[in-house]
């Protein structure tokens, strides 16, 4: 044969492959989610998320220092609220001395350079396990948005660099932006979960925080996974309302959405490789059915290749070790 172009030339050795690789993962691509609980010296493995832990603040700050030393530059905080503090109004979410607010202050005091992002939604604080206030059978939008805006200000006051509303209520980004501006928080960013789908892949996360909805599901606020155009509509609205970073969630079943959003917006795009995606790889690896390390790198590289500038993932630490 006399071929003009032999594509295999560029694949023949690790050296060649490395100089032509289009997508390279780096430590600062990753956002490390952290689950925080009350207490001291507490480190509890989450049963459906093998080798991932809920930790008390003292151990969380050590973890944050380690993550920073590895090159990770952002953490995303979730707290497990005590049952007796839960209600239908998110009262505890606004407590200036709540677990979230104390966690933010503790992390910023030991590792001020680490970017602290905070989950903004009512589910961990809700007796109903819903992201908003419940009236009858309904998750009511506008009263919820008021609380989310106050919650965001409370996180900013404690020192959060970014608030990350994950609730999917309408109008919350503009409300949060106005509340931040109104309180002088002109440097606090908003990372909006813009296209968050009602997904079965959040199951292990709800075990981690004991936050599964008590009745019904989240389909009246989270998106229908049948829809693509709607993701663009949601995202463009969040951009117009002042989001600094937008997010697609989950990641691997939504690579088409990540790509489409990346093509549409001119701000950073993040993707959340969620708890169920973590659990699937862990479970298959445990069975000996998948090579865990290769599955991690292939998954995260695919998410970045699809267009994610940032990836929230429970594999952040493993991935950094594998890259180095």
Question: CA 263 → CA 30, 168, 266, distances in Å?
Answer: 21, 22, 8
Task: Enumerate residues 102-121 that contact ligand PBG by CB under 6 A.
Answer: 119, 121
- Residue 8 DSSP label: G
What's the closest the beta carbon of residue 197 comes to ligand PBG, in angstroms?
10
Site for ligand PBG contains 234 (CB under 6 A): no
- Which residues, 6+ apart, have CB-to-CB distance to 177 below 8 Å? 190, 241, 242
Q: Least separation, in Å, of the C-beta of 271 and ligand PBG?
A: 12
**How far is the C-alpha of 125 from the C-alpha of 133, rounded, in Å?**
10
**Smallest distance from ligand PBG to CB 23, Å:** 23
- Is 249 among the residues known to form the active site? yes
Give residue 245's Cα distance to chain centre: 12
Return d(Cα 104, Cα 99) in angstroms, integer: 9
Distance CA 290, CA 14 (A): 22
Catalytic residue (choose from 218, 249, 304, 317): 249
Select the residue interacting with ligand PBG from 29, 92, 123, 241 (CB under 6 A): 123
166 in contact with ligand PBG (CB under 6 A)? yes
Nearer CB in complex with ligand PBG: 121/281: 121
Residue of 27, 34, 56, 131 that binds ligand PBG (CB under 6 A):
131
CB of 193 to ligand PBG, least distance (A): 7
Residues in region 240-279 near ligand PBG by CB under 6 A: 274-275
| 125 near ligand PBG, rule: CB under 6 A | no
Count of C-beta atoms within a 10 Å radius of residue 181: 12
Beta strands in the chain (DSSP E): 30-37, 43-46, 49-56, 74-79, 115-120, 133-135, 138-140, 162-165, 189-196, 245-249, 269-273, 310-313
Q: Is 196 an annotated catalytic residue? A: yes
Q: What is the rounded CA–CA span in Å between residue 273 and residue 267?
A: 19
Q: Near ligand PBG by CB under 6 A, which window of 63-71, 202-210, 252-260, 281-289?
A: 202-210
State in angstroms the smallest separation of the CB of 98 from ligand PBG: 16
Which entry of 196, 218, 282, 317 is annotated as an active-site residue?
196
Near ligand PBG by CB under 6 A: residue from 52, 197, 202, 254: 202
Binds ligand PBG by CB under 6 A, chosen from 80, 89, 206, 259? 206
Identity of the residue, 188 or 211, whose beta carbon is nearer to ligand PBG in the bound complex: 211
Q: Which residue number, 41 or 209, has a Cβ lying nearer to ligand PBG?
A: 209
Distance between CA 316 and CA 295 in Å, rounded?
13
Residue nearest to ligand PBG (CB): 205
Distance CA 263, CA 252 (A): 18
Min separation Cβ 256 and ligand PBG, Å? 20
Q: What is the β-pairing status of strands 162-165 and 115-120? A: parallel
Minimum separation from the CB atom of position 196 to ligand PBG (A): 7
CA dist 213 → 131, 139, 209 (Å): 9, 11, 11
3-state secondary structure 123-191: HHHECCCCCCEEECCEEEHHHHHHHHHHHHHHHHHHCCCEEEECCCCCCHHHHHHHHHHHCCCCCCEEE
Total chain residues near ligand PBG (CB under 6 A): 12
Active site residues: 196, 249
Chain residues binding ligand PBG by CB under 6 A are 119, 121, 123, 131, 166-167, 202, 205-206, 218, 274-275
């Amino acid at each position: 044969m006399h071929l003009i172009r032999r594509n295999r030339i560029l694949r023949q050795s690790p050296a060649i492959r490395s100089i032509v690789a289009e997508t390279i993962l780096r430590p600062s691509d990753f956002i490390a989610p952290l689950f925080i609980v009350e207490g001291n010296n507490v480190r509890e493995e989450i049963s459906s998320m093998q080798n991932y832990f809920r930790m008390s603040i003292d151990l969380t700050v050590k973890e944050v220092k380690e993550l920073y030393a590895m090159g990770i530059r952002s953490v995303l905080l979730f707290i497990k609220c005590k049952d007796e503090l839960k209600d239908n109004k998110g009262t505890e979410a606004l407590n200036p001395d709540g677990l979230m607010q104390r966690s933010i202050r503790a992390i910023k005091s030991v590792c001020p350079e680490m970017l602290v992002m905070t989950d903004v939604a009512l589910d961990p604080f809700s007796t109903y396990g819903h992201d908003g206030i419940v009236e009858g059978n309904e998750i009511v939008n506008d009263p919820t948005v008021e609380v989310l805006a106050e919650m965001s200000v409370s996180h900013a006051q404690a020192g959060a660099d970014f608030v990350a509303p994950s609730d999917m209520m309408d109008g919350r980004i503009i409300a949060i932006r106005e509340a931040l501006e109104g309180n002088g928080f002109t440097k606090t960013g908003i990372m909006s979960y813009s296209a968050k789908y009602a997904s079965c892949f959040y199951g292990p996360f709800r075990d981690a925080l004991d936050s599964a909805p008590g009745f019904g599901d989240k389909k009246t606020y989270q998106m229908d996974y049948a829809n693509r155009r709607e993701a663009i509509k949601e995202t463009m609205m969040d951009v117009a309302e002042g989001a600094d970073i937008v997010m697609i969630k989950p990641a691997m079943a939504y690579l088409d959405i990540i790509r489409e959003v990346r093509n549409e917006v001119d701000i950073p795009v993040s993707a959340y490789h969620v708890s169920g995606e973590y659990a699937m790889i862990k479970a298959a690896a445990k069975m000996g059915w998948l090579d865990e390390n290769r599955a991690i790198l292939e998954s995260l590289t695919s998410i970045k290749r699809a267009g994610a500038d940032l990836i929230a993932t429970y594999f952040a630490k493993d991935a950094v070790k594998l890259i180095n």
